[in-house]
Structure 1
């Protein structure tokens, strides 16, 4: 085999690609990150919400506290005029929804990726790819338009809804547009909303307002009576009118720093892996912005995939193919669930007619009064309730003799928690070596069992 240029090519320097590349480089893997955009992070961004499980993943990389300082934590979500969800009940150190612009997430992840040695190639576009049993060859053009190739062991497409990687593979992206002519903007308000997170729908329109905490607000609106192509001009007057229709007031919004019109699709690739090429984030799945789960789902894709690729590349995996296939097995069902849940939320927001609106009111009332129902919904939206089967479940941030679990996970390695004075044996199927293992001790001497925690904070089943 010819000498490779790098171990992994990551296409796309959004949040998903940045986290994945940073993880791999921190694990000693050579990573080249290819991004079509020129250098510099734009603040023109749609994502604004970071959920509890994503904050836990960022905590395991030493980034969560700094990100929290950049935004506004929200502990209550009022849906359709009713106080429906109390996020302070979430079983996490991060019992809230953090409202912060996507560029703050990207800033931290890019800084980390650079510090771990990722080779950035901005202004570089993927033109094609081929693969065989040993390597992937990416055909790229650089900033000056000169074509060249990059040879790697693996390639990951994290290049968004119009993914060149997915298109080149010939993978379908089945689904449909669920809602057209959404208007999105960052604005200032003369009047402060009565709730930090404000959302309501009246049948012909819905609107959403959330604060960034620095005087700017993210506003999204939709008007059933104005369904026009994305290319149609949009201005602040249109958004003001939508907000007045849905919320009864526009809160004196002014000085939009950006505004756009877009449509929302529900789509998912049937496979996240084709040989040595994998997909993550919006390249693999895209759904409505309801619930703010898009960026979060992509970041959790990256957290799931990065340690598996690293284990395969370091020859730590007893069964490399099975480990890489488990990425599809674990994350594809999550993507499908997010499509269903976000689609249900947006359909409730668009409800028209007395029966549907009564059903929406009943759903909101149930969430505000029935704790098990609220806990299930909050677990799904926050990501804390995601499990990969009965044995592979999220492990909370346990206090241990050596410190918090998620502080120990910052080494990017498996953590073996055991009773004091014991040295339990690793399961034969564990894709790690004793030399790359963090050992920890229960604080409670009554605990006599051992627990092996994966680098992404999920339990590793002993019988696997």
Structure 2
């Protein structure tokens, strides 16, 4: 790295102003950390790779009071796994947000950027990071900005800069996995005769196509053509299909092209699947697509990246403030890498279902659809997994920990009129003392209460399942249970 003059400093530099980077910046600012976001693009992309916000992501937004994001989307009570005919029903899930939220990524990013800026984050567009290096006390980044090259020094840098992450490569973090063997396409178009009844989906021997109405009079078509299963195909994703090819695939699968015209965006994507070997290398960390790459099945990528940022934000802030216990920052990789690995396993399984064009594959799809319809426990487990409501971070000592330790806390209501999510608004640890048995919190937990813990004495408004016999609960800022008794 050339020895240019260091023009400024920040506690944390976040590289990438997608949903993951913007949310991480907001979470760091909530904890009082000075953060600068550097984005190579001069303007936000008008195109939306993702359309879906899942229940756990909506919960986190609700915990932080971002009702405007929730209100901007259209709630859908059903979801899908591998585009199976039978849909997953979210309405019975233990969450105040029992739905997926249809919200184009461009709108999500705009709302998150406004939120990050309101919190005090510095967001700079047209600033491309070209190199970085670290020493024991800092990270130095070389940047090409609108007014020329400069350097910025930070105590930590986080790569939220996508699957081709400059930060990951500069840090020397391996990105093992598999290359694409299957290609899909998407097209945002205007329709003369939109399909009646909302979203349409059909996957069979002729291929698969789903159509979802978007704002501004557009419809998103996503398709998989059996002819695009080519192991070893090195065709670049930038090779877009033509509108005629999109029409032909849609007619073959759905029987009509619905008068599609005026394509606003057509793109191709593959099933290359990779995960960073580590999410932390010294003072450099990764989150979102920089850490995991996969086929975009079910819209999970944006959500898992968002949840990476939620896990990392408070840990990085505590480390910077000098209040973190030993190993806290390392727990980011320990907790989130397995979640990323499970994400990749899920998207691979769904890709197999979506490309099951043979008679045997169609039989498998029909069998699993039948299980979703007839076995409520199976359907609920898939819905909880898709919505990230089942994520648990294993405690360091499982034998000594309460069974609820590491699980996500539901939004229980209290007798004093408060609710759990409202207590997490400030991003602090919260110690709930739920009556006369509150002192039964483990000695280790009570003696090591994190700095700034909010103590709240109350009772449950009504019995709440596994919470009914709890005397005390220590909640992490991300809404997971740190300790209970």
Spell out, residue by residue over 1:417-458, the C-alpha distance to the aligned partner (whole angstroms, 9 max, x if none).
11257875782575722x442525233487551111111110
Tell me how far apart the structure 1 counterparts of residues 22 and 78 of structure 2 sit (CA, whole Å): 30
Residue in 2 that maps onto 1:327:
332
TM-aligned CA deviation for residue 222 of structure 1: 2.0
How many residue pairs end up in the alignment?
456
Residue in 2 that maps onto 1:19:
23
Quick one: which of 337, 340, 343 aligns to 2:345?
Answer: 340
Residue in 2 that maps onto 1:439:
456
**CA distance change for structure 1 residues 90 and 419 in 2, over 3 Å: closer, same or farther?**
closer
Q: Could you tell which deviates more after superposition, 19-28 or 247-256?
A: 247-256
Instruction: Please tell me the root mean square deviation across aligned C-alpha atoms, in Å.
Output: 2.5
Instruction: Give the SS at the match of 1:160.
Output: coil
Residue in 1 that maps onto 2:36:
32
**CA distance change for structure 1 residues 272 and 218 in 2, over 3 Å: closer, same or farther?**
same
Instruction: Give the SS at the match of 1:7.
Output: strand
Structure 1: 5+ residue stretches without partners: none
TM-aligned CA deviation for residue 404 of structure 1: 2.2
Tell me how far apart the structure 1 counterparts of residues 310 and 83 of structure 2 sit (CA, whole Å): 33
Spell out, residue by residue over 1:398-421, the C-alpha distance to the aligned partner (whole angstroms, 9 max, x if none).
112252222221111112211257
Query: Contact 1:414/1:455 (CA < 8 Å) preserved in 2?
Result: yes
Tell me how far apart the structure 1 counterparts of residues 480 and 62 of structure 2 sit (CA, whole Å): 14
Instruction: Give the SS at the match of 2:272.
Output: strand
Matches within 5 A, 1:256-271: 256-271=263-278
Matches within 5 A, 1:283-432: 283-319=290-326, 322-389=327-394, 391-400=405-414, 401-420=416-435, 424=439, 427=445, 430=448, 432=450
TM-aligned CA deviation for residue 185 of structure 1: 1.9
Spell out, residue by residue over 1:183-208, the C-alpha distance to the aligned partner (whole angstroms, 9 max, x if none).
21222334444554433222342112
TM-aligned CA deviation for residue 212 of structure 1: 2.9
Tell me how far apart the structure 1 counterparts of residues 140 and 446 of structure 2 sit (CA, whole Å): 34
Matches within 5 A, 1:112-191: 112-146=115-149, 148-191=150-193
Q: Could you tell which deviates more after superposition, 331-340 or 344-353?
A: 344-353
Q: Could you tell which deviates more after superposition, 271-280 or 195-204?
A: 195-204
**CA distance change for structure 1 residues 231 and 272 in 2, over 3 Å: closer, same or farther?**
closer
TM-aligned CA deviation for residue 239 of structure 1: 1.5
Query: Contact 2:21/2:309 (CA < 8 Å) preserved in 1?
Result: yes
Query: Contact 2:205/2:359 (CA < 8 Å) preserved in 1?
Result: no
**CA distance change for structure 1 residues 233 and 293 in 2, over 3 Å: closer, same or farther?**
closer
Instruction: Give the SS at the match of 2:339.
Output: helix
**CA distance change for structure 1 residues 215 and 176 in 2, over 3 Å: closer, same or farther?**
same
Instruction: Give the SS at the match of 1:8.
Output: strand
Structure 2: 5+ residue stretches without partners: 1-5, 395-402, 463-467
**CA distance change for structure 1 residues 54 and 387 in 2, over 3 Å: closer, same or farther?**
same
Q: Could you tell which deviates more after superposition, 86-95 or 452-461?
A: 86-95
Residue in 1 that maps onto 2:465:
none
Q: Could you tell which deviates more after superposition, 349-358 or 206-215?
A: 206-215
**CA distance change for structure 1 residues 353 and 239 in 2, over 3 Å: closer, same or farther?**
same
Instruction: Give the SS at the match of 1:131.
Output: strand
**CA distance change for structure 1 residues 421 and 280 in 2, over 3 Å: closer, same or farther?**
same
Residue in 1 that maps onto 2:471:
449
Instruction: Give the SS at the match of 2:173.
Output: coil
Query: Contact 1:416/1:451 (CA < 8 Å) preserved in 2?
Result: yes
Quick one: which of 208, 216, 219 aligns to 1:217?
Answer: 219
Instruction: Give the SS at the match of 2:371.
Output: helix
Instruction: Give the SS at the match of 1:395.
Output: coil
Query: Contact 1:123/1:142 (CA < 8 Å) preserved in 2?
Result: yes
Query: Contact 2:73/2:102 (CA < 8 Å) preserved in 1?
Result: yes
Tell me how far apart the structure 1 counterparts of residues 156 and 83 of structure 2 sit (CA, whole Å): 46
Instruction: Give the SS at the match of 1:153.
Output: strand
Q: Could you tell which deviates more after superposition, 336-345 or 79-88?
A: 79-88
**CA distance change for structure 1 residues 112 and 241 in 2, over 3 Å: closer, same or farther?**
same
